[in-house]
Amino acid sequence: MDPGAGASLKRYILKHALQVPKVAEYVNMSDINLPNLPIGSEEEVREGIELLFFAYRDFTAEPDAILAEYGFGRAHHRVIHFVGRHPQMTVSELLAILRITKQSLSRVLGQLIRQEFIVQQKGREDRRQRLLQLTRKGHDLERQLSAPQRTRVADAYRRAGPQAVEGFRSVMLGIIAGDEDRARFGHPARQKR
């Protein structure tokens, strides 16, 4: 890891996550001061993390198989998802959501445009802007990719019930570090500590 990345990671942890002592060169559970949790022991927190790993594995398995048929990966899926959810979004907006380099996005987006899954147009008011939209072919792929995920989430919501769904939403919003990202879901900004 380059020195700049390590410093950025430490600043992120100090600002958004659990407090890590400044002298820590690595992080293990004895280095972390868990805040007073209203509910949940350290074991419940660890189990929650493990549940996220297993859920993400299963949530992405079926779309990964579909993406492989096209020679695409998860980065392609994320671009297709967000462009499908927000037609006419700018490349800058997509970069802000994905938090990847322009070079990384350029490779993925270029492939999706060349293969006619996404179309890029100049902005009407600002001709320098590049507005992104799925093509019919892109919409078809987005539906294929999201169908198993929608089914999986809808089934889990049905089994868990409305209170659990709201609890899940609250937990996920609490995990999201950025105020701007939480605001997309109608959630107020975090109180400054």
| Nearest Cα to Cα of residue 137 among 107, 112, 120 | 112
**Token pair for 168:** 């899940």
Cβ atoms of 94 and 79 within 8 Å: the answer is: yes
pLDDT of the residue at 37: 55
pLDDT of the residue at 180: 87
CATH of 38-160, one of 1.10.10.10, 3.40.50.300, 3.40.109.10, 3.40.50.880: 1.10.10.10
Q: pTM of the prediction?
A: 0.74
Whole-angstrom distance, CA of residue 25 vs CA of residue 42: 22
- Percent with pLDDT over 90 in the chain: 62
Whole-angstrom distance, CA of residue 13 vs CA of residue 34: 13
pLDDT of 7 above 90: no
- What is the pLDDT of the chain when averaged over all its residues? 82
E runs forming strands in 31-161: 89-90, 118-122, 130-134
pLDDT of the residue at 185: 86
Comparing 180 with 15, which gets the higher pLDDT? Answer: 180
pLDDT of the residue at 65: 97
pLDDT of the residue at 13: 42
pLDDT of 20 above 50: no
pLDDT, one tens digit per residue, over 34-57 is 555 556 688 899 999 999 999 999
Comparing 129 with 138, which gets the higher pLDDT? Answer: 138
Domain regions of the chain by residue span: 1-33, 38-160
